A and B are shown apart, each in its own frame.
Chain A
Amino acid sequence: MDMHGLSEWIYATALSAAIRDNAWVVPAVQSIHIIAIAVVMGAALVTELRVLGIVAPDENLTVVAQRYLPWMWRALAVLLATGLVMIIGEPDRTLSNVTFWIKMALVSVAFLASLALRKPLLDSTRAAREAPAKGLAWILLALWVAVIFCGRWIAYS
């Protein structure tokens, strides 16, 4: 089944109809999506600026990671759930949209990079041994910014 067939199939389901027929569902879910984006951005900003030594250079990097990374994982789970509701409600707006797939690729890279580069910071002995590369901190922040831009752009492409 191709993407168009898949989105037609989703569109025909009762769940999709229910999401569309209740006018408040889509804006409410989008609002929750934005709040969760704010949590990811807040967590990413403080963690990356700490890695860069711009914010709280005197605080232990492992403590910073322990405080913020769990919030990032939880918010990403909320983003996935609310994102799925939006896809089910308006499958053609997303699944047939190039910008949407670029966003999904960027989210995957940003998530996997955070997992690979920042989760090890939770282990204090490891964090003390290997100082994280500063260039990568900027790249991670740039990735999240690009994700937000793509998200808004889905509505226009």
Chain B
Amino acid sequence: MLESVHVLAIALVVGTIAIVDLRLLGYPSHRRGVRQLVRDLVPYTWAAFAVAAVAGSLLFISNAPKYAHDTQFQWKMALILAAAVNMGVFHLTLYRSIHEWDERSPAPLAARIAGATSLSLWTAVVFLGRWVGFTL
């Protein structure tokens, strides 16, 4: 049950953020403007992330010492942190000047790098998460 909720929430986190990431890289979404797209989708990403984090924490508590010593699990946590830093930097720098490049597709190079980084990190998080199931 917890694992199903965790997988569903991850699918929604990755599925919604990937739309934003791909738009930065130049793949069209339902919005031309990045700002409006972020407003449309990121609330769902956050809600799904909160659910994934709660379900994940409960799974962790069920076998804390083993998870804590699992290399794949440690990497997964590190990459989630990296994804958070990437997002924080994006919002504090590029997103401040969104009005200058909102409609540009693909977005400026720095925003494309942020999108590609986000997409790669979340993909790696999914792979590591699945690997935890085999190494734990």
Q: Which B residue sits closest to A47, measured CB to CB?
A: B30
* Nearest CB of B to A39, in Å: 6
Q: Is A67 an interface residue (CB 8 A)?
A: yes
In this complex, which of A27, A31, A38, A63 has the most chain B Cβ atoms within 10 angstroms of its Cβ? A38
A 13-47 to B, binary, CB cutoff 8 A, 1 in contact else 0 = 00000000001001110110011011111110110
Check if B10 sits within 8 Å of A34, measured CB to CB: yes
Q: Are A148 and B8 in contact (CB under 8 A)?
A: yes
For A36, the closest partner residue in chain B by CB is B11
CA distance A60 to B28 in the complex (A): 14
Q: What is the minimal beta-carbon distance from B22 to any residue of chain A, in angstroms?
A: 9
Q: Is there an interface contact between B18 and A38, defined as CB atoms closer than 8 Å?
A: yes
Closest 4 CB pairs of A and B: A42-B15, A38-B14, A152-B4, A38-B15
Residues on B facing A (Cβ under 8 Å): 3-4, 7-8, 10-16, 18-19, 28-31, 36, 40-41, 44, 123, 126-127, 130-131, 133-134
